[in-house]
């Protein structure tokens, strides 16, 4: 049988034009699938947020694992349970930096966030494409009362004014602690010593030093400190380590002292000259 | 055979409609516009008209296809030829999502209701996409259609009064004017604004013929003015001034004595008004504000040109509030001259900017030819000539004192280039006839 017979039919059965039409129709199927895959814009998907929880601190980061991430996406964070809103247009404190590594993995530099649970909102240029409620948690920094042995240097008769229960009133800008350190117990004031007090001059050029009689006073102080990023216990912007100096002020007196030993809430302790010790 | 071709055509249309309904609808509109424009035209003029129109449309469609192909989906959701045009599309899609109840988030909501740069243009684009579906590429065809239909309507208006040669010469100039080509393939307001201005001009000419068509033209004119106000309120002065001057031209042609009385009354009114202290104070304030805008433009990024006294630039930002009468007059005169002449070849700041020079020389030629065009046109068709001239003068008054940047001036000046082009074509045709 000829391929095309004398009447122009394919294999003697199908008209050539009809056959061409059939081929076009069949070709449309893969073409349609191809076009759909090309032009269809799949929504991004988050499978996992890593880490789901992390301590508070500056420059927090997250990794999103999922699919269909694109570089032009924008991500915002909002405290869980609160309506998502923004305050300022150009300096928005709720937007994170979206750093895409692959369509399935993204790193996000979070804006400054306080401890708490947060929702994630993902936007393309013109609409919200994804919400992940309670996506991650920022834990409050580890804190607790430190039991600290301090050797205060008291000028003149100040040592006589110090009583157990006295609370530090010293205010420091950005102080993390709401309450102050409390003197729990004091020892006997030591023999006479001398102290050199140094004051910065208002002109900003040089200092004025005054030497005078003083006594040392050992005291156990309970200090509400927080553990910083670097693993240092901090109290009102001051590191609390053996060998550090500490200021203590009430409405009646002001003291400066030297940290001798520190006992942390989990029982470990550090002491000047002893190295790190196990409980 | 016929059935097979019809089937294939149906399949092709179905695919095209499924991919972009707005593209199909726009192509149908363009075809109808071309058919309407060429309905009673025969011979060489018909071939030239259809050829120019099809070539202009095809060139623009090719550019739009290239824009689509240039899209990098890994970097952007859609591509736009110019940043401003892309922003218009983006804002219209945000508007559309907002109207459809799709969550757009507080950031987009804030930008949607931001007063800066806000106008109804984005709302109209959203409305079109509500009808045809979101179309970040197809929506640019609104701009293409606006410009091409505006040009072809103006061709018909001019042809009725000035004849085929002037109409066709102006049409070809306008269709292939380089910067207008760029505006018409970007989603900028210019093309739609041009169509609205042309609608007002067409309506003012058509309404004088009376009948139902005249009533419809009157209604279309009103709508076009109303819509123009929602786009750029200041620009509405261009068609309105054109229409008023056109009506004055018509009056002068039919009742010269009445026109003389009217002109005299207006002159007396103007002199009395200008000499009143309140009017003088208002004029001074307006000139000072124009100086402030001009100096602000000069000091901003871009390629500036200066038309004010140097003191007003050196003592910025307080200087403009102290502009005196003589400084203001010098500023206005220099701005009017700059409106025509800028950019002079030595003012082009970059090598790429040299590309604008051929168009600039063509612009000088058009302005030169427009002078005899107005002279001869006033005798042949006073209403249309005065309307076209009125649009040009109003454009000069609105744009010249408020510019200080060469790029912005060219873009804004293009609003009157089509009208100047037809006046120039009238002059060229008259000179060619001898």
pLDDT digits (tens, 9 = 90+) for B221-240: 999 999 999 998 778 889 99
Give CA–CA dist A255/B108, Å, rounded.
55
* pLDDT averaged over every residue in chain B: 91
**B111 contacts in chain A (CB < 8 Å):** 89
Residues B90, A28: C-beta atoms closer than 8 Å: no
Q: Which of A21, A41, A124 sits opposite B4 (nearest CB)?
A: A21
Categorize the per-residue pLDDT at B1 as very low, low, confident or very high, splitting at 50, 70 and 90: low
Closest alpha carbon within chain A to B71? A39
Contact between A187 and A217 under an 8 Å Cβ cutoff? The reply is: yes
**A126 contacts in chain B (CB < 8 Å):** 77, 90, 93-94, 97, 104, 108
* pLDDT value of residue A175: 46
Name the residue with higher pLDDT: A168 or A198: A168
* pLDDT averaged over every residue in chain A: 83
Work out the average pLDDT over A243-268.
88
Pairing mode, strands A128-139 and A182-186: unpaired
Work out the average pLDDT over A21-40.
81
* pLDDT value of residue B395: 92
* pLDDT value of residue A279: 30
Is pTM beyond 0.80? Reply is: no
Give CA–CA dist B335/A49, Å, rounded.
61
> Residues 374-393, chain B: which have Cβ within 8 Å of A?
none
B104 touches chain A (CB under 8 A): yes
Give CA–CA dist B27/B21, Å, rounded.
10
Name the residue with higher pLDDT: B142 or B408: B142
Categorize the per-residue pLDDT at A275 as very low, low, confident or very high, splitting at 50, 70 and 90: very low
- Is the pLDDT at B8 greater than 90? The verdict is no
pLDDT exceeding 70 applies to what percent of chain B?
100
Q: Where are the domains of chain A?
A: 1-31, 45-139, 143-277
Name the residue with higher pLDDT: A79 or A203: A79
Query: Which stretch of A67-71, A152-156, B78-82, B194-198 has the lowest confidence by average pLDDT?
Result: A152-156
Closest alpha carbon within chain A to B78? A125
B75–chain A nearest CA distance, Å: 6
CATH topology of domain A45-139: Immunoglobulin-like (2.60.40)
A21 alpha carbon, distance to own chain's centre: 65
Q: Which stretches of B255-353 are DSSP H helices? A: 256-275, 277-299, 310-314, 325-341
Q: Which of B11, B73, B104 sits opposite A127 (nearest CB)?
A: B104
- Is the pLDDT at A203 greater than 70? The verdict is no
Closest alpha carbon within chain B to A91? B107
Total beta-carbon pairs less than 8 A apart between chain A and chain B: 63
- Alpha carbon dihedral A228, A232, A236, A242, in 10-degree steps, equals 170
A89 touches chain B (CB under 8 A): yes
B368, B367, B381, B383: which is closest to B420 by C-alpha?
Answer: B367
Q: Where are the domains of chain B?
A: 21-245, 276-433
Give CA–CA dist B66/B76, Å, rounded.
16
Query: Which stretch of A158-167, A206-215, B11-20, B393-402 has the lowest confidence by average pLDDT?
Result: A206-215
Neighbouring CB atoms inside 10 A of B333's CB total: 12
Residues B104, A28: C-beta atoms closer than 8 Å: no
* pLDDT value of residue A89: 60
pLDDT in tens, B259-316: 888 889 888 888 887 788 888 888 888 889 899 889 888 888 788 899 999 988 888 7
Categorize the per-residue pLDDT at A174 as very low, low, confident or very high, splitting at 50, 70 and 90: very low
A118–chain B nearest CA distance, Å: 16
- Is the pLDDT at A171 greater than 80? The verdict is no
A55 alpha carbon, distance to own chain's centre: 6
Work out the average pLDDT over A100-128.
92
Q: Which of A21, A39, A125 sits opposite B77 (nearest CB)?
A: A125
Neighbouring CB atoms inside 10 A of B325's CB total: 11
A18 touches chain B (CB under 8 A): yes
């Amino acid at each position: 049988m000829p391929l095309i017979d004398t009447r122009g039919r394919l294999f003697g059965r199908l008209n050539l034009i009809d056959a061409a039409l059939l081929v076009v129709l069949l070709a449309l199927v893969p073409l349609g699938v191809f076009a759909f895959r090309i032009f269809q814009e799949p929504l991004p998907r988050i499978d996992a947020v890593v880490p789901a929880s992390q301590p508070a601190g500056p420059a927090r980061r997250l990794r999103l694992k999922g699919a269909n991430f694109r570089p032009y996406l924008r991500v915002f964070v909002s405290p869980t349970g609160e309506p998502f809103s923004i305050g300022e247009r150009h300096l928005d404190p709720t937007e994170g930096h979206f750093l895409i590594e692959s369509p399935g993995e993204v790193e996000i530099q979070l804006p400054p966030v306080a401890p708490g649970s947060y929702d994630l909102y993902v936007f393309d240029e013109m609409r919200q494409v994804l919400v992940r409620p309670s996506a991650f948690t920022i834990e409050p920094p580890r804190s607790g009362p430190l039991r600290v042995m301090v050797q205060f240097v008291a000028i003149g008769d100040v040592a006589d004014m110090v009583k157990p229960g006295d609370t530090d009133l010293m205010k420091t800008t950005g102080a993390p602690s709401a309450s102050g350190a409390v003197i729990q117990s004091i020892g006997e004031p030591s023999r006479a010593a001398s102290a050199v007090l140094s004051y910065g001059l208002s002109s900003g050029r040089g200092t004025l030093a005054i030497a005078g009689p003083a006594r040392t006073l050992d005291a156990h102080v309970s200090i509400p400190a927080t553990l910083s990023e670097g693993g240092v216990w901090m109290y009102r912007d001051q590191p609390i380590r053996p060998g550090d100096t500490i200021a203590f002020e009430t409405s009646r007196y002001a003291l400066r002292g030297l940290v001798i030993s520190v006992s942390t809430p989990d029982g470990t302790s550090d002491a000047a000259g002893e190295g790190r010790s196990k409980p | 055979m016929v059935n097979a071709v019809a089937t294939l055509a149906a399949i092709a249309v179905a695919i095209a409609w499924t991919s972009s309904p707005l593209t199909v609808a726009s192509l149908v509109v363009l075809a109808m516009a071309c058919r309407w424009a060429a309905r009673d035209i025969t011979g060489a003029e018909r071939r030239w008209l259809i050829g120019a129109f099809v070539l202009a449309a095809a060139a623009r469609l090719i550019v739009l296809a290239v824009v689509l192909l240039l899209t990098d989906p890994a970097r952007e959701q859609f591509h736009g030829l110019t940043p401003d045009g892309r922003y218009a599309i983006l804002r219209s899609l945000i508007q559309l999502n907002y109207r459809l109840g799709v969550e757009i988030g507080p950031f987009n909501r804030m930008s949607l209701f931001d007063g800066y740069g806000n106008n109804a243009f984005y709302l109209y684009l959203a409305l079109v996409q509500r009808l045809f579906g979101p179309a970040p590429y197809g929506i640019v065809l609104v701009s293409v259609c606006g410009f091409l239909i505006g040009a072809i309507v103006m061709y018909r208006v001019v042809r009725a009064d000035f004849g085929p040669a002037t109409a066709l010469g102006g049409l070809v100039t306008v269709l292939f004017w380089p910067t207008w080509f760029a505006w018409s393939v970007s989603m900028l307001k210019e093309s739609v604004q041009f169509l609205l201005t042309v609608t007002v001009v067409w309506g003012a000419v058509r309404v004088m013929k009376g009948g139902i068509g005249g009533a419809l033209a009157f209604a279309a004119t009103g709508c076009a003015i109303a819509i123009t106000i929602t786009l750029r309120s200041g620009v509405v002065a261009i068609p309105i001034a054109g229409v008023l001057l056109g009506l004055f031209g018509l009056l002068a042609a039919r009742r010269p004595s009445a026109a003389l009385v009217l002109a005299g009354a207006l002159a007396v009114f103007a002199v009395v008004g200008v000499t009143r202290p309140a009017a003088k104070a208002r004029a001074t304030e307006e000139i000072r504000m124009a100086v402030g805008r001009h100096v602000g433009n000069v000091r901003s990024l871009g390629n500036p040109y200066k038309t004010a006294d140097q003191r007003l630039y050196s003592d910025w930002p307080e200087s403009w509030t102290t502009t005196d009468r003589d400084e203001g007059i010098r500023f206005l005169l220099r701005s009017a001259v700059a409106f025509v002449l800028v950019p002079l070849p030595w003012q082009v700041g970059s090598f790429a900017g040299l590309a604008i020079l051929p168009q600039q020389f063509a612009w000088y030629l058009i302005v030169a030819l427009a002078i005899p065009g107005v002279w001869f046109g006033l005798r042949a068709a006073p209403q249309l000539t005065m309307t076209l001239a009125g649009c040009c003068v109003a454009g000069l008054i609105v744009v010249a004192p408020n510019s200080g940047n060469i790029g912005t001036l060219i873009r804004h000046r293009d609003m009157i280039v089509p009208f100047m082009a037809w006046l120039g074509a009238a002059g060229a045709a008259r000179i060619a006839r001898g």
